[in-house]
Amino acid sequence: MMGGNQRDELIEDKRSRIIEHLQTGTEMMVYQQRAERLTVQVLMETMQVALIRSGDRIVRMLDIFELKEVRQDFQRFNESRGNIIQRIFRQSEKEIQQDSKTCFTIFYGSEFILESLSLNADSVEDAEKWLTGLELLRQETLVAHTPEIIENWLRKQMYSVDQTKKNSITLKELKSLLPQMNFFVPGGRFLEERFVEVGANDYVLDFQQFKKIYNLLVFENQKMLLEEFEKGPAAFTMSNTDRPGSSVLPLYDFQNFLLYRQKEDWAKDFKKVQELMTIFIDDKSNNPTFTVGEFLSFLFSKENSIWDERFSEICPLDMNNPLSHYWINSSHNTYLTGDQLCSESSTEAYVRCLRLGCRCIELDCWNGPDEPVIYHGRTMTSKIKFKDAVKAINDHAFVTSEYPVVLSIEEHCDIKQQKMMAQMLRDVFQDKLLTEPLDPEAEHLPSPNQLKGKIIIKHQKIKESDHTDKVEEEKGNAAVKRKLGSFKKIGNIYREKVHINAKENSVEKEGELCIWDSIDKRFYKHDCVILDNKLYYSEEKWEDDSTEEGLDLHLSETWFHGRLAGGRTTAEKLLRDFCKGSNGKDGTFLVRESETFIRNYSISFWTSGKIQHFRIFWSSEKGHTSFFLTKKQCFPSICALIEHYRQNLIKYDGFNLCLTRFLPRLNFVSHHQMGWFYSNLSRVEAEDYLLRIPRDGAFLIRQREEPDSFALSVRVQGHIKHFLIYRHNSKYVLADTYEFISLEDMVRCFREHILQDKIKLRYPVTPQLVVRFNMEDISTYDSELYGEVAEDNPLGDQCKGVVDISKCNVARKTKHARHLVVTLMNKENLRQTEFTCEILDQVDEWYQVILNIIQREQSLEKARIGEMESKTKIAIEMSDMVVYCQSIKKGTFEKYNYKEVRSVKDNMIPKEGNETGVEKSDSILEYNRTALTRVYPSGGRVDSSNFDPCPSWKLGCQMVALNFQTADKFMQLNSALFSLNGGTGYVLKPEWIRNPTKKKPPKQNIRIRVIAARHLPNPDHIISCFVQVELWPYTGSQADDYSFKTTMFKDNGLNPVWLGPMNPPKCFQVDEPDMAFLRFVVFEEDTFSDAQFLAHATFPMRGIRSGYRSVPLKNRFNENLELASLLVHAQQLEVQGK
């Protein structure tokens, strides 16, 4: 067996071969403005993909850092190719299939709408290597350590101006490069002196020298930061801080810094501290040291982030609450790429949102020429096909998160196209689509864990539950009353038609049917009546009670040995031993059950020193049962047959003799030989056996541990009941009421008479029956209806069951050895009822009556549904797939069902301190503990601007739908919130929001000081920047209490510093720590002294770490900015006087 190390080596070897293939480069067809054949190559030194023309001329570079997805998407590839060459040439089917395996598309960028590049490799093998290799590199880039990222970034900067292709950079090139790196070059001989310092000759730098100059530049302006650590707890002194490598920080000092300045408990582990240090240095010894330059690089690194990554991990235990207990990442008008009036609609917008962790997406559906389309109705936004959107959703729904996706459908289609929508949803999503409740008896929504991998439809539903209808009617909402009135009118019309039909026809058919018993595997006769579209059937009819009563008499006879283990061989041994020991007499016999044939028996007897065996045959014709040795002479029971041949000669097969004496069964206790009797079976085992038989009346008798004590166990109305039996004065007493000579008499009695609740002992549970049902699917068996037969049924007390014909399909065919059998299949539970008649013509009569009923009901149902659809404007097919998200248009939150979703505009949500809104905050909060709310932007936001989601979140609103395409503060807050819990799109609300008995957590204070920054983004010029820090949301009247700004730092975005009295720390009081966000925003001041956004970082307060921390920055679209970070100091403080 291969060990773990060997497997790792094989995986690494495969990776190396794939990466080597990508580095070598591959010629492919590349589709840009025009289609051309280029070499595609990965440059590992810069982590880029290069597109190269002949002559090594690079025409395009893609940063792997910006890659979001590599997709084998033939449709997307065809769109790209079609735009370029207009698809002039028609391809054969074989060529199309080949392209589908060799083409792929790279999606990249740092905005909401991604750029794409379509490529077509020459072979499937090449395509697979590129697909695998690029995804591998993309994942590795995400987890790369900061020193590795800096190395790649520096090479990227150097190669961008390396005109000689000699991996070197001149003084002139460096002067032009530094402004692009956001660094203002001082006058004089500033750079020349740095060239000399790093040992450059002829003013040319190789890469290592270029790296040294970079380290000098970033260190020089920030070396004063080291003074921060020469005082306070765990202070350390550095002898010389003029140069990055002029002084060192020992392992011990760094450990103390982590423990006492950074409050890192894990730093007590010496080995973990060593491992952290070796990320930033090459020293792998047991006592590594940091240079002061390396220490500062650590401070700015993502490894020292202010965000505690433990809060970004998924907590599976937190995913077991009802859906209403979560904030759910939600999008508004998901298909749009811009404003609400004239922007493009795109399936890629759905893909982007889903891959960003969105779990509730919106589809505005309108009639198209031939099929439904999605767009912002009555505007100039473009249209996409509903079918294409659904396919895109299906492909990407569970890539980022395995938890459920809600499709919020805004319906504007007519009934015809709604039916098309429903079919498309079923065809595309298949078993992902949730169409039935997980637990019909539940009183709350299921959990995200229960709904993993499911698509949930949010849409209007034609008919709510009876409870909800009643609630709606009591509510007094006029629109709801009108709708319910329509339902009632439709229902009354339908009922009147049925009532008239019943009056006219009364009993539509009555007579005797032979109904198939799937357990006994035979037909039984029943009296049957068809009335009011239902088939009523009686108990089984026993044709001749006296005959049936005698059928089992042999079971109590001592000459009957039952089924002998070993069969014929055992019978011969018993007779031989018995006859030899008592001077055997011819005609000595025993009767035993046949091993081979069901309901057949054998006589074994002694004659002339030998043993012979005769088979006793069994037959049933026209309801009469008979037993015989030859058909010339038949008997109604085995006892009658034996009694006859004890008086008369057996003339059969050359024999002429009478049965004389019999071999008595040793230790005879007759019921021990019965299949329904068990001498060693526990109560639990008995219940298990009986529950496997899907019929009432299944029974067995078992011996109890107490002497002369037994139990009758019976299945009654789907449950198991046990009755005590004990022996008293040689009789068997049942339930202290009935006395019997034997257990056989008891069974015989209650097979004919009711034991309890209309139940007779109907199905003896033998070991053979238990084995059979172990191997069969009992769901395929028809089950009897428990307590569902109306008292006023046409058969009265004799009615055993009823079949609702209107809910069935009907068919007829040859089956069960009968020429014609009618099968009724219930469309809801797939249970079957099969019957025939003794007279063939009667089968067709019954079939025609049933077929007429079904066709009549289908016609009425179609008319009823059509009228309901016409009144409600909702297709029944769409309505039927709505389970947990029933869209309700109401302005109130007072009475509700847990399956409802209220949709409200953002301006209808009460703001902090304002209770003049449509609904009081406490009623909204209470509603959201059980049911769902979706809040969406008001109609005035035509620019796709977003609203502040915090008031809605605070009231427990789950689905606060924002415009993902808009890069603003509120979308950034949304991204911050849903970075929690592994980015699954589900965040458990605080306990005090979920439970009214819980209190809010105590208030907190946090002190923030902005110290410095590195690698701020460069908008084509050297920036002058400042930082604004704010606590959101504001909970007081003074905004200055919740935000502050640093001073402006002129002409430096590479390594600005904010120290001194002009940049003091700011203390924020955090009233609701589990609802608050800490935001850092970097601005530059333009020529008009206006603040222009550069970068931000937004975090939930609950995950902020103390100490000197790096703040990794993102762009306005929440995409990571390579290496851009702030250095801040954060300190958690106790609230005084609490």
Backbone angles phi, psi at 601, to 5 degrees: -135, 170
Q: Which of 685, 750, 744 is nearest to 560 (CA)?
A: 744
By the 10 Å C-beta count (0-12 exposed, 13-18 middle, 19+ buried), 148 is classed as middle
What the block records as the tokens of 813 is 């065919």
Which run of H or of E encompasses 952?
Answer: helix 950-954
By the 10 Å C-beta count (0-12 exposed, 13-18 middle, 19+ buried), 760 is classed as buried
- Residue 257 per-residue DSSP state: I
Beta bridge partners of 1109: 1128
Distances (CA, A) of 888 to 477, 898, 899, 931: 12, 12, 10, 11
**Bridge pairing between strands 1120-1133 and 1107-1114:** antiparallel
Residues 875 and 837: their CA atoms lie apart, in Å, by 42
Beta bridge partners of 988: 326
444 is catalytic: no
Q: Which distant-in-sequence residues (6+ apart) come within 8 Å of 966 by Cβ? A: 944, 945, 946
**Bridge pairing between strands 589-593 and 900-905:** unpaired
For residues 259, 224, 277, 65, the Cα torsion angle rounded to the nearest 10 degrees is 120
Q: Could you report how far apart the first and last alpha carbons of the chain are, in Å?
A: 63
Q: Which distant-in-sequence residues (6+ apart) come within 8 Å of 295 by Cβ? A: 226, 249, 254
Chain-centroid distance, C-alpha 38 = 43
Count Cβ atoms below 10 Å from residue 878 Cβ, excluding itself.
Answer: 24
Q: Which of 463, 481, 482 is nearest to 473 (CA)?
A: 481
DSSP notation for 516-572:
EETTTTEEEEEEEEEETTEEEEESPPPS-HHHHHHHTGGGG-TTB--S-TTTHHHHH
Distances (CA, A) of 960 to 336, 402, 936, 947, 976: 17, 20, 6, 10, 14
- Residue 1004 per-residue DSSP state: E
Q: Are residues 304 and 426 in contact, defined by beta-carbon separation less than 8 angstroms?
A: no
By the 10 Å C-beta count (0-12 exposed, 13-18 middle, 19+ buried), 34 is classed as exposed
The residue type of 756 is: Q
Residues 180 and 1018: their CA atoms lie apart, in Å, by 7
Q: Are residues 604 and 561 in contact, defined by beta-carbon separation less than 8 angstroms?
A: no
21 is catalytic: no
The residue type of 800 is: K
Q: Is residue 1040 classed as helix, strand or coil in its secondary structure? A: helix
Give the distance between the most distant pair of CA atoms in the chain.
Answer: 140
Residues 198 and 194: their CA atoms lie apart, in Å, by 6
- Active-site position among 332, 396, 459, 671: 332
**Bridge pairing between strands 115-120 and 26-31:** antiparallel
- Active-site position among 376, 459, 526, 561: 376
> How many CA atoms are closer than 13 Å to the CA of 523, on its beta-carbon side?
22
Backbone angles phi, psi at 877, to 5 degrees: -65, -40
Q: Which of 874, 922, 933, 936 is nearest to 898 (CA)?
A: 933
Residues 628 and 637: their CA atoms lie apart, in Å, by 9
Could you list the active site residues?
332, 376
